Amino acid sequence: MIETDRVLRPLREAEPAIEQLDTYESPVVLTEALRATWQAVDRTLRTLLRSDASAPDSIRLTALSPEQMSADAVMLELRRRDMVSLAVAGRVHELRHALRRAEAGTVRAADADNAREVVRSLIEEVHGAARRAHTSSDAHGVTPPPSAPQDAQPGDEDPPVARIGWSGAQTRTLLLAAAAMAVLVLAVLAVFLFADGSELEQGVAAFSDGRMDVAEQHFRAALRHDADDTTARLYLARILRRESRHQEAADLLRDATALDPDDAAVRRELGYLFMDLDRPAYAGTQFRRAVEIDAEDPLNWVGLVHALALSGDSAAAAEWLRRAPAAAREMVRER
């Protein structure tokens, strides 16, 4: 059962900072409001995943820890369980991107609008997830444990342990041994669950938290260990692009494309790089390829429409927008 009050507590506690999305008077104040909003949204999403009783213990135990589970991984699990819509996932991604951009010195009024919409829609979806969980519980019910027949009498049938000739002391010994084994198994699991994780996992966690210097170190270490790791190349390229180290980012993305030509995220990042270099026509080619590979991700469509519009092909932009998923159309309208 999802306790909405507990899940939404981070958003309530951050209300004073979130209100500054409406009242900010400087880019610095808006950046701080975006940071506080993202932190509250991230905590809410993690608590929502933690509250899913059907999730494996390995996920529930690590959901609240950014060091153990990245924001991307949290969203992936929530989407897999249909606890968050694709539209909200896209808005949350935009919020994270806006915060990184703001921290780099570029903040926009539209960032505040998107952040407010993230908070509003996330509250709605948490309540919706709680209603669905409650309905599912009512539909399936809870099967009570079997009870002894009302007319059963002592001695009618010996307990199973007694039937095979075990004494009470032997039974207690067996139970103690089983308990000890359970403790040992849990201890072993804890070692794996709370280990530091790979260089790639630590890099993704640092990236999600905005610790770009730390993330860069982990991704470079991951590539030293495995030069063919396209995910490490992608994340490292994202960091370098945001730091305007365009040639280094381009080299990484070129190699990543050679390793995996059908990685939609790499294609989309190439599109963003070309956009930063003011080459929207080239960007459009990459975004179009990303759409062909993964048509369900609204960010691929949004990038394509935006690139076509900037390249002066408004007719093509309108046509692709017409064909785009509803979540992508909504995101374009909000820009």
Among 308, 306, 300, 307, smallest CA distance to 325 is for: 300
| 31 and 135 share one domain | yes
Q: Structurally, how many domains does the chain consist of?
A: 2
Among 91, 89, 98, 82, smallest CA distance to 34 is for: 98
Q: Are 2 and 129 in contact (CB under 8 A)?
A: yes
Q: Per-residue b/e over 224-262, b at no fewer than 16 CB within 10 Å?
A: eeeeebbbbbbbbbbbbbbeeeeeebbebbebbbeebee
- In a domain, residue 180? The reply is no
| 99 and 208 share one domain | no
| 326 and 207 share one domain | yes
| Domain boundary pick from 113, 139, 165 | 139
Distance of alpha carbon 162 from the chain centroid: 52
The pair of three-digit structure tokens given for residue 11, joined into one six-digit string: 């958003």
- In a domain, residue 300? The reply is yes
| Helix residue spans in the chain (DSSP H) | 4-7, 9-13, 15-23, 27-50, 57-60, 71-80, 86-103, 109-140, 160-163, 168-193, 199-208, 212-225, 230-242, 246-259, 264-276, 280-293, 298-310, 314-323, 326-334
The pTM assigned to this predicted structure is 0.47
Cα distances (Å, whole numbers) of residue 180 to 121, 177, 186, 187, 191: 47, 5, 10, 11, 17
Domain of residue 108: give its range: 4-139
Q: Are 15 and 40 in contact (CB under 8 A)?
A: no
pLDDT on residue 212: 86
**pLDDT tens per residue across span 205-257:** 888 777 888 999 999 999 999 999 999 999 999 999 988 999 999 999 999 99
pLDDT on residue 150: 39
DSSP letter assigned to residue 146: P
pLDDT of 305 over the 50 cut: yes
Q: Are 123 and 114 in contact (CB under 8 A)?
A: no
Handedness of CA 116, 122, 125, 127 (dihedral sign): negative
| 219 and 103 share one domain | no
Mean pLDDT of the chain: 80
**The CATH number of the domain where 223 resides is what?**
1.25.40.10
For the residues 120-144, what does the mean pLDDT come to? 71
